[in-house]
Amino acid sequence: MAISEEQVFEAADQIRQQGKMPSAISIRELTQTGSLGTIQNFLRKWRYQETLSAATQCPPPELVLESIKQFGERLWHLALQSSEKEASIKIRKERDERLAAEQDAEQALRKIDELQQDVEKQTERINQLLNHQSELQLDLQNQSETLRQQHLQIENEQKTIAALEHELKLEKNHLQQLQSQLLEAKTKEAHTQSTLQRYQQNNDVLQRDLAILNNDHVHLNERLKLLSQDHSTNLAFLKEKTQLEADLKKQLDQERHTHANLNHQNELLQREAASLENEKKHLLEQQTHYKKMIAQLEKLLDHSKEDQQPL
């Protein structure tokens, strides 16, 4: 920020009131603004005005006037004693020395300004580095928190995977039990089918025996008719006929009872076969369902293991 002439004058007055001689550096330290070259230019103007103000406010004392008079006389004698050329050379030399001193002072002030600007730039660079360091520390904290969250997530996923593996193990054991039950049901079904076939064969044999008995009954009836024709001549045959009819009826009732029992057993076996068929169908459906569940669990485990792999 540029410094104004009024600020330089006010700072110089404050330093002068403190009993010190104002300089460009002391004014720069007091105002904390402006370049040393600009302050030096305004300070020269302030000193010139101070000199004019001091000259107009009070007349010079007698001693000062006497000293000036003596200095003027000596200067006059010196001028008279020296040639015009020597005086010109001396004046030019003094002027050159004064100009060189002013140039050196200005260069020194410019150098001080450059150094001050470098210091300000370095200070700004240091502040930027400090801000960048703070940002890096904040970023590091955020990354640490993110890594901690990821670690917690991985631990939770590992627990989930362990639970899924345990559940998968239980489902596999259940599936093995179902497969064992299905195998047992198939064995039982085969045994039932074998028993049913055996009863069917016995039924066929009984049907044949029943047909034979029916044929015997027909023959007995025919024989009865013949015996009836000879009833008047052979009473003994009548008794035999009655006994044969009773035996035939008793045998026929036994065969019918046996046939009814076989039919009942056949119905029970058919019902049992139908029940086994339904149970087999249900077990197959459960097996298919558990196979699908195991496939889904294995797929889920594969995805979880892929997610745990480092990027």
Q: How much is the pLDDT for 31? A: 92
Window from 32-41, 84-93, 241-250 with minimum mean pLDDT:
84-93
Place of tokens 């631990």: 155
Residues of the chain with pLDDT > 70: what percent? 79
Cα dist. 94→71, 84, 90, 102, 274 in Å?
A: 18, 15, 6, 12, 137
pLDDT at 60 over 60: no
Per-residue pLDDT tens over the stretch 103-162: 766 776 677 667 767 767 777 787 787 778 778 877 878 888 888 888 888 888 888 888
Confidence band, pLDDT 50/70/90 cuts, at residue 17: very high
Domain 164-308 = CATH 1.10.287: yes
Query: According to the model, what pLDDT value does residue 231 have?
Result: 60
- Give 203-258 pLDDT, tens digit per residue: 788 788 778 877 877 877 787 677 667 666 667 766 877 888 898 888 888 888 88
Query: Could you tell me the pTM of the whole model?
Result: 0.33
Three-class SS state of 58: coil
Cα of 296 vs its chain's centroid, Å: 23
Q: What is the Cα–Cα distance from 212 to 201, expressed in whole angstroms?
A: 17
C-alpha span between 60 and 94 (Å, rounded): 27
pLDDT of 91 reads 61
Compute the distance between CA of residue 79 and CA of residue 77 in angstroms, rounded to an integer.
5
Is 70 exceeded by the pLDDT of residue 85? Answer: no
DSSP class of residue 233? T
- Token pair in block for residue 111: 């150098």
Pick the residue with more confidence: 264 or 83?
264
> Structural domain boundaries of the chain?
1-55, 164-308
Q: 94 or 193, which is more confident?
A: 193
How far apart CA 83 and CA 90 sit, in angstroms, is: 11
Question: What stretches of the chain adopt beta strand conformation (E)?
Answer: none
Amino acid (1-letter code) at residue 307: D
pLDDT of residue 109: 65
By the 8 A CB rule, do 216 and 248 touch? yes
State the pLDDT at residue 112: 65
Count the Cβ atoms, other than its own, within 10 Å of residue 35: 19
3-class DSSP state of 103: helix
Q: How confident is the model at residue 26 (pLDDT cuts 50, 70, 90)?
A: very high
Structure confidence at residue 25 as a pLDDT band (50, 70, 90): very high
Summary mean pLDDT of the chain: 80
Mean pLDDT of 281-302: 88
Residue 298 has pLDDT above 80, yes or no: yes
